[in-house]
Amino acid sequence: MTTTPDGDPSTALPDRPPVVDLATWQSARDELLVREKAHTREGDAIAAARRRLPMVEFDGTVEVVGPDGPVPFLDLFQGRDELVVYQHMWYDGAPHQGQCEGCTTTAWHLKDAVYLNARGVSFAIVTTGPWDEVASYVEFMGYTQPWYSVRGVDGPVGGDMGYLTCFLRDGDRTFLTYSTTGRGNERVSGSLGLLDMTPYGRGETWEDNPEGWPKGRGACWTWRSDAEGNPTWGPTGRPVPQWTRPGATPVQTLGRRGHHH
């Protein structure tokens, strides 16, 4: 029999947190708050160390391709001194539903950069896709951020995709200051932080949950779904944000060989 901490089985609910009075809840909440504050302070200390990293100079005149054709990478700064770039993966020739669901999720969460701009920071998305394909995708998704193709570009501007990268400008000189990937990209996706606050979390198998909690699924299982909203990595699925777009009809193919999460 499931009971609450005060021993009353009548208010217990299966597969859910124990039911207690407000004072008991507040005590437990205050205890966790001590750990949360320590976590925040450690995060501040890591950010301070991040600001003290060295940087790498590179050629900011290297050309990338945007809606106005080839432009120097320097243009992405929009006259500001700092720049954050998301490097979006690309599958050549794939239809919209076949593009990377993780990158779609990240890009969708930062639809504009007004708060960054207010602090002198610009934001842009680059990808290795050919510009005509990229432009079509950006229009379909309704993205308003600046997008550029870095096809054939090496160094800090190009290279591997799926990264958040920071740059600094000093006049016409440009520098790479920071880059992260994997779960480092989560700071853009506020939905993940909110899910971490909920009783059932993200619903993923790797999470540490109490015995009897709803069984978790594979990492990132919510990133792609079919027309009925069922999570699927198969050919009938789209990255979830795409279903809000006009013309996002049910599909039958990813339009690419293989896929990864």
Residue range 84-94, pLDDT digits in tens: 999 999 999 99
Which residue's entry shows tokens 């520098």?
Answer: 175
Domain annotation covers residue 155: yes
Domain count of the fold of the chain: 1
- Residue 23 identity (one-letter amino acid): A
Domain annotation covers residue 188: no
Instruction: Give buried/exposed letters for 12-26 (b at 16+ CB in 10 A, else e).
Output: eeeeeebbbeeeeee
Banded model confidence at residue 10, pLDDT cuts 50, 70, 90: low
pLDDT at 3 over 90: no
Return mean pLDDT, the chain: 93
Domain span at residue 153 reads: 51-182
Q: Give the span between the Cα atoms of 20 and 6, in whole angstroms.
A: 7
Closest CA to 100 of 235, 211, 239, 208: 239
Which residues are registered as beta bridge partners of 183? Answer: none
Q: What is the pLDDT of residue 111?
A: 87
pLDDT at 261 over 50: no
Q: What is the pLDDT of residue 1?
A: 44
User: What 3-state DSSP class applies to 130?
Assistant: coil
Residue range 95-132, pLDDT digits in tens: 999 999 999 999 999 989 999 999 999 999 999 999 99
Residue range 135-169, pLDDT digits in tens: 999 999 999 999 999 999 999 999 999 999 999 99
Domain annotation covers residue 76: yes
CATH number for 152:
3.40.30.10
pLDDT at 220 over 70: yes
Q: Which of 83-87, 176-180, 219-223 has the lowest mean pLDDT?
A: 219-223
Domain annotation covers residue 61: yes
Instruction: Give buried/exposed letters for 155-188 (b at 16+ CB in 10 A, else e).
Output: ebbbeebebbbbbbbeeeebbbbebeeeeebbeb
Domain annotation covers residue 205: no
Domain annotation covers residue 160: yes
Domain annotation covers residue 22: no
Which residues are registered as beta bridge partners of 126? Answer: 87, 148
Domain annotation covers residue 93: yes
Banded model confidence at residue 247, pLDDT cuts 50, 70, 90: confident
Residue range 16-42, pLDDT digits in tens: 999 999 999 999 999 999 999 999 999
